[in-house]
Structure 1
Amino acid sequence: MNRTTIGMIFAGLLTGAALGFIALKVPTPGTNTETQVTGVPAVGGPFSLVDQHGKRVTEKDFLGRYMLVFFGYTNCPDICPAGLQVMSAALDKLGSRANDVVPVFITLDPAEDTPERLATYLKSFHPRLVGLTGSESEVAAAAKAYRVFYQKVPDAKDPSHYSIDHSAIFYLMGKDGKLAAPIPHTNDVDQLALAIEKAIH
């Protein structure tokens, strides 16, 4: 299963969450019947990471503002730079209407993506972008909180090199830190700008 497929699956699940619920039919053990289970999946939550300036930040530092969160890594060849370009262009398109939206890029490759590397990388995108990294366990905890799938894939020709398969989604988090809207990474600039505007007004 490739990253795009995984991202689309997560997008479908999270879109259900944005509408208020997900309904699943679960087989009841020992019977031929099914039980319908409904609920809102928890997305987001506590994290403690380091930004591109070396400052320790937590989810509490963003309360009172929206967060537009995207997970990836700086060596990502396609999905991540494309997603960050779309994110940046959408914020520029919204202008002052998105002043309360903080764009956040959380790396899935903390071994390579130091604060210094994130600072250099993010300069190519948007001046307001906040890059976050941390230890392997801190990044894993953040990914788990956001239900992000990722795994290292060694290069078959050179095991010392690797890529990272990961789900790709824009998470728009509300001012209260709860999920406001999951937005597929396949959205173009206009679609992303419209989705953000609808969610924050």
Structure 2
Amino acid sequence: MTWPAGRGLVDQTGAALDEARFAGRVRLVYFGYTRCPDLCPTALMTVTQALDALPPALLARLAPVLVAADPEHDGPGVLARYLDTFHPAIVAATGPVAVIDGLAASYAAPIRRHGGLVDHPVDLFLVSPSGMLLGRLPGGIAPEALAGILRAALSR
């Protein structure tokens, strides 16, 4: 589960985004979109609350990432404004639809777009620094439970 280098992925500032950006850190990945009315903001608030519960030393070992499931709408500027509501450590990833879909497929997290709506997994994905999937955490996980899982993964 590596990030596709040189394929046009950028973060919410427009800076290129690749595997080197996450070197040595555990990733917490969520596929979502800014026009999502309920599931995405709820999941990102859960992530925010869990990150707030982590000590700075552990937080530094984590790369929380929102992957834009609707990259045609969610460009860097839109994502930057959206993320202002959530924890500042969260990085957004956006880029060509084919690249986003390929990344989602590598997580067994298919994205379907139709009529302005986006069907995407509600799960969070915990990924090791080497790119190995450590866990697929269910949507609706409590912030306290997520913080505990993150503490355990980051303390290894």
TM over 0.5: yes
Say if 2:46 is the partner of 1:86. yes
| Unaligned ranges ≥5, structure 2 | none
Structure 2-normalised TM-score? 0.91
Which residue of structure 2 lines up, in the alignment, with residue 188 of structure 1?
A: 142
Runs of 4+, deviation exceeding 4 Å: none
Q: For structure 1, list consecutive stretches of 5 or more residues without a partner in the other structure.
A: 1-43, 155-161
SS in 1 for 2:10: strand
> C-alpha distance in 2, partners of 1:101/1:112?
27
1:107 aligned to 55, 68, 77, which one? 68
Partner of 1:50: 10
Cα distance in structure 1, aligned partners of 2:124 and 2:32: 11
Q: How does 1:1-201 map to 2 (within 5 A)?
A: 44-48=1-5, 49-96=9-56, 97-154=58-115, 162-201=116-155
Letter in 2 for 1:188: A
Measure the CA separation in 2 of the matches of 1:151 and 1:105. Answer: 17
* Contact 2:32–2:40 (CA under 8 A) maintained in structure 1: yes
RMSD: 1.3
SS in 1 for 2:53: helix
1:66-107 C-alpha deviation (Å, 9 max, x unpaired): 111110100001110000000011011112232211110001
SS of 1:124's equivalent? coil
For 1:46 and 1:124, how far apart are their aligned partners in 2?
A: 25
- Alignment size in residue pairs: 151
Structure that is richer in strand per residue = 1
Q: Tell me the CA shift for residue 173 of structure 1.
A: 1.1
**Deviation at 1:56?**
1.1
Offset of 1:167 from its aligned partner? 1.1
TM-score, with length taken from structure 1: 0.71
Deviation at 1:55, TM superposition (A): 0.9
Residue of structure 2 equivalent to 1:19: none
* Alpha-carbon separation, structure 2, partners of 1:102 and 1:88: 12
Q: Measure, in 2, the Cα distance between the counterparts of 1:46 and 1:133.
A: 12
- Residue 46 of structure 1: CA displacement? 3.4
Identity %: 34
- Residues 101, 111 of structure 2: 8 Å contact kept: no
Q: Is this contact kept in 1: 2:28–2:64, CA < 8 A?
A: yes
